[in-house]
Structure formats: C-alpha cells, structure tokens
Amino acid sequence: MTIKPWREIAVPHQDVLKDTFQESEFAADISQVHQGKATPEYQDASQFFARTYITEGMALLLDSVVKCLSGHGGDPVIQLQTAFGGGKTHTMLAVYHLAKGERPVSELSGVSVIRLYVKYSG
C-alpha cells in the first residue's frame, strides 16, 4: 500500500505554496483583534470563520456561549483545558466575534448549527 503525500490530500493555502507564509502572522493575538490592529484573517469575523475549522468541541462550546448570551441557557462559566496549540485562542476569538455581533451568523462559515439561538445576528 502506498501512502499519498500530504500535499496531494490537503492542499495548503496560497501563502504556504508561494512561500510567503509569515509564521508571526499565524499566531492569533486577541488584544490585537480587540484594538483593530490584527491581520484581516483574524480581524474580520467572516474571514476568521472561513479559515477556522470548527471542531465538535468548539461547536458545542459556541452553542453554549450563544445560548447563554441570548438568554436560552448555556453555561455562564467555561473552562478551556487543552495543551499548547490545542485551539484555546482560536476558540476565544470565535467567542469574541460572535459576542461582538458585527456580522450576522448567516455570513459566518461553519456556525450555522447555532443560528437558532442568536437574537442579535439579524
């Protein structure tokens, strides 16, 4: 059995293919997003969700957050426990963008499962 190279299975983003990828831009910084100084893929909610894979765990957490914010239950306190690189910052950015409500949920890739609970999304 021959295993295909990963580049044939998962096609990297253009910045990786063109060798213009900047590792410093990969690290999400919530304070930069809050100050409006982050790169567009983190600053803009639509771009952020388009580039973010919503795991089952993140979907459950976002569902709980949106329920809580809209008064439909959900946990008011959530403890994120993952190892380094486990997605804590991305999860917090997802919560930030949803809570800020600058974009309707209908414009955000991957979050359609929580549309029922969002009153402020338009």
Match 């499962």 to its residue by tokens: 113
Match 């910084």 to its residue by tokens. 29
Task: List, for residues 3-60, the tens digit of each pLDDT value.
Answer: 888 878 888 778 778 887 766 666 788 999 999 999 888 999 999 988 888 888 888 8
Domain positions in the chain are 28-117
Which among 93, 109, 113, 103 has a CA at the least distance from the CA of 49? 109
Q: If you compute the radius of gyration of the chain from its CA atoms, what whole number of angstroms results? A: 16
Tell me, what's the pLDDT at 117? 46
The whole-model pTM stands at: 0.68
Whole-number Å distance between alpha carbons of 95 and 98: 5
What's the Cα-to-Cα distance from 66 to each of 61, 63, 75, 115, 122, rounded to whole Å?
Answer: 9, 5, 10, 9, 14
